Amino acid sequence: MRRLARYLPILSWGRQYTRGALQNDMMAAVIVTIMLIPQSLAYAMLAGLPPEAGIYASILPIILYAIFGTSQALAVGPVAVVSLMTAAAVGQIAQAGTAGYVAAALTLALLSGLFLLMLGLLRLGFIANFLSHPVIAGFITASGILIATSQIKHVLGVSAGGATLPEMLISLFQHLGQVNLITVVLGVGATGFLYWVRKGLKPALKKLGLSDGVATIATRAGPVAAVVATTLAVWGFGLDARGVNIVGSVPQSLPPLTMPDLSPELLRQLLVPAILISIIGFVESVSVAQTLAAKRRQRIDPNQELIGLGMANIGAGFTGGYPVTGGFARSVVNFDAGAETPAAGAFTAIGLALAAVALTPLVYYLPTATLAATIIVAVLSLVDFSILRHAWAYSRADFAAVAGTILLTLIFGVETGVSAGVVLSILLHLYHTSRPHIAEVGLVPGTQHFRNIRRHDVHTDPELLTMRVDESLYFANARFLEDKILDRVTGDEAIRHVVLMFPAVNAVDLSALETLEALNARLDDMGVKLHFSEVKGPVMDRLRRSHLLDHLTGQVFLSQWDAVEALTPAVCLNGSGQPVRGADH
C-alpha cells in the first residue's frame, strides 16, 4: 500500500481528509473557478485555439493532477507562457482556426505529457536544473513582452500578426488604418479597470470597512466584472455589428473525447517543441509548488510532480485541451483562499464543468478585446527587468546570459529563446566550473586552520606550496589546475613540496585523473614532490582504483595540518615560519 501511495499521493492525503479540509477546499475552489473562467478563455485565444479549449484544458487535467500530484495548493491549467509556446509550435504546422491546428495542439499536449511521465518514472527531475534561474527569468520576461504585444491587435481591433517582437510591431504599424475606435475604448477601458482592480480595489474596499476576506474575493472576481460589463455593452448596443470582434458560439458541453494525431511526420515536427514546453512548464510549476509548500513547512516530490503534470497533459490531449502546467497566479490564489489538499483542484474542475455546460452561451457577445486585456494585465507581473540590474551587479557572465536570452527570444521567437536559454545555462555552468577557484593557503597563527594568503596573515614555508582546490575536477577544468600549479612552481626554485588540498573536491573524472598523473610526473622532473590532503572518502576510493597513488612521489595526508607537520614542522610552531600579508580582496 505504501509503495502504491508513492505513485498515487491521493491514497495518503485522502485517508486523512476531514470536514474542515472539505469546507476550505470548496471555498478555495469557488474563488479559483471564478478567476479561471475568463482566464481559460483568454489563454486559449493566446494559444490560437477556440475559447472552449481553455476550459477543457482546465477540467480533466486538474483532476488527474489531484490524483497524482504532491502539492497541496498547485492549480494546474493553461498558463500564459505555455500558451504562447503552443501557438509558436503549432503555428508552424497548421493555420490557426483549422482542424489541423486543433489536432496538432492535442498531439503537443500528449507528447509533453508522455515526456514528463517518462522523466518522472525514471526519476530524472534533476534535468530541469540545466536551466539556470537567471536564464529562466530572462526568458519569462521576454515572453511576457511578446504576449502583451501579441494582444495589442485585439485591443485595437486589427488583424496584425507576427511571432517575434519586430514582426509584431511592423505588422501593427502596417494595420493602424484598420483601428476600430469602439474596440479601443472597450480594450483600453478593460485594461485600465483590471489594472486598477489588481492594485487598488482591495485597499479601497478595506477603507470602506469590508473585511480582508471579502475584499480579496471581490478583487479576484475583478476579471469577471470586466467580462460581464463589456459583454452587456456589446449585446445592449449591438457593437458586434459595428466591427467589434466577439467570442461567438462556444459549445455547451463537457470536454469531448478526442484523439491526437499520431502521424509520424507530425510527431517528428512537435517532438522538440514538446520537450521545451515540458521543461519550461515543469520549472515554472515546481518553483511555485516548492514556494507554497515551504510556507506550510511541507515538502513536494519533484519526480512525482513530473508524473502528476505528465498525466495532466495526457488528459488534456484526450479531452480537447492543450499543454498545461501549474500557474503562479491561480496557485497563489488557491493557497491564499485556504486550499488544504489537491481536492480543491478537483472541486475547481467540477465548477468549470458546470460552467462549460451552463454558462457558455453567456459569453457569445464577450469582446476579444476584454480577453486580450485580461492577458495583458496578467502577464505584466512576468516582466521583470530588475533581473538585469541584479545580474550586472553580481556577475557579468550571468548578465550576458540573461540579456542574451531576452534579446534572442524577442528577436527570433520563443523556441529559439528557450533553446538558447538551455545552451546558455550549460555554457554558463561550464564557464564557471572550467576556471575553478584555486587558493594558495597558509597556516593561521595559533590555529590549525589554513586560509588564502591573499586574504589573511598566515605562516608559510618557501619549500612548501599548498593549493586548495574549490571545485570538483573534470575534463573542462583539469588543465586549468595543471597550468596554475606549474606556473607557480616554475617561478619559484625554492619549492620542494606541493600539497593539493581537496576538501571541496567531490569528484575526479578520468580526464582529471590523467592530468594529475601527468602533473605528478612533471613535478617529479623538477625535483618537486606532489602530495594530497583532506581527500574525501568517495574520491579516495576512486583514486585507489587507479595507478596515481602507486606512482605518487609524495603522500596522502588526512588533514592539511598533518601535511605541514610532516613536511615543514617549523611552520607549526607559533611565531615560526615566514609570515605573508596579502591584499584583502
Does an H or E element contain 197, and which? none
Nearest-angstrom CA–CA distance, 415 and 123:
26
User: Which range is least confidently modeled, 130-144, 185-199, 518-532?
Assistant: 130-144
Categorise residue 446: left if φ over 0, alpha if ψ from -120 to 50, beta otherwise.
left
Shortest CA distance to 77 belongs to which of 302, 455, 330, 451? 330
User: Which range is least confidently modeled, 127-141, 186-200, 241-255, 310-324?
Assistant: 127-141
Main-chain dihedrals φ then ψ at residue 448, nearest 5 degrees: -115, 25
Quote the pLDDT of residue 1.
55
Read off the pLDDT band of 429 (50, 70, 90).
confident
Average pLDDT of span 82-108:
93
DSSP character at residue 127: G
Average pLDDT of span 138-145:
89
Does position 576 have pLDDT exceeding 70, yes or no?
no
Read off the pLDDT band of 109 (50, 70, 90).
very high
Average pLDDT of span 440-445:
93
Does position 477 have pLDDT exceeding 50, yes or no?
yes
Nearest-angstrom CA–CA distance, 488 and 480:
12
Quote the pLDDT of residue 578.
46
Those residues whose C-beta lies under 8 Å from the C-beta of residue 268, and which sit 6 or more positions away, are none
Answer positive or negative: Cα dihedral of 88, 92, 95, 98: negative
Does position 334 have pLDDT exceeding 90, yes or no?
no
SS (H, E, C) 456-475: CCEEECCCEEEEEECCCECC
DSSP character at residue 496: -
Cell of 328: 503562479
The CA radius of gyration of the chain, in Å to the nearest whole number, is: 30
Cell of 479: 588543465
Cβ distance 94 to 88 under 8 Å?
no
Shortest CA distance to 293 belongs to which of 304, 277, 278, 280? 304
Q: What is the pLDDT of residues 549-563, one digit of tens each?
A: 999 999 999 999 999
Average pLDDT of span 286-294:
84
Q: Which residues pair with 439 in a beta bridge?
A: 468
- Determine what percent of the chain falls in helix, strand and coil, rounding each to the nearest 5: 65, 5, 30
Domains of the chain: 21-427 (no CATH), 438-580 (3.30.750.24)
Grid cell 471579502 — which residue?
214
Q: What is the pLDDT of residues 50-73, one digit of tens each?
A: 999 999 999 999 999 999 998 988
Average pLDDT of span 288-313:
88
User: Which range is least confidently modeled, 176-180, 246-250, 336-340, 479-483?
Assistant: 336-340
Quote the pLDDT of residue 575.
43
Shortest CA distance to 77 belongs to which of 87, 69, 65, 93? 65
Mean confidence (pLDDT) of the chain: 89
Shortest CA distance to 485 belongs to which of 461, 516, 514, 454? 516
Grid cell 493557497 — which residue?
335
Does position 337 have pLDDT exceeding 80, yes or no?
no
Cell of 21: 479540509
- Based on the number of CB atoms within 10 Å of its own CB, is 362 exposed (0-12), middle (13-18) or buried (19 or more)? middle
CA 188 vs. chain centroid, Å, equals: 31
Cβ distance 293 to 339 under 8 Å?
no
Quote the pLDDT of residue 414.
83
Q: At 582, is the secondary structure helix, strand, or coil?
A: coil
In whole angstroms, how far apart are CA 11 and each of 16, 60, 66, 279, 486?
Answer: 9, 19, 11, 27, 61
**N residues, the chain:** 585
Those residues whose C-beta lies under 8 Å from the C-beta of residue 316, and which sit 6 or more positions away, are 56, 57, 60, 61, 106, 109, 113, 322, 323, 324
Q: Which residues pair with 443 in a beta bridge?
A: 450, 459
Quote the pLDDT of residue 310.
96
Higher-confidence residue of 582 and 321: namely: 321
Task: Count the Cβ atoms, other than its own, within 10 Å of residue 342.
Answer: 28
DSSP character at residue 98: S
Q: At 47, is the secondary structure helix, strand, or coil?
A: coil
Does position 153 have pLDDT exceeding 50, yes or no?
yes
Q: At what angle do helices 264-295 and 99-121 cross, to 10 degrees?
A: 60
Does position 183 have pLDDT exceeding 90, yes or no?
yes
Cβ distance 456 to 444 under 8 Å?
yes
Q: What is the pLDDT of residues 251-265, one digit of tens each?
A: 889 999 999 999 999
pTM above 0.85, yes or no: no
Q: At 455, is the secondary structure helix, strand, or coil?
A: coil
Quote the pLDDT of residue 542.
94
Q: What is the pLDDT of residues 392-424, one digit of tens each?
A: 998 888 888 889 889 999 999 887 887 887 788
Cβ distance 454 to 585 under 8 Å?
yes
Nearest-angstrom CA–CA distance, 164 and 408:
10
Does position 163 have pLDDT exceeding 90, yes or no?
no
Read off the pLDDT band of 10 (50, 70, 90).
confident
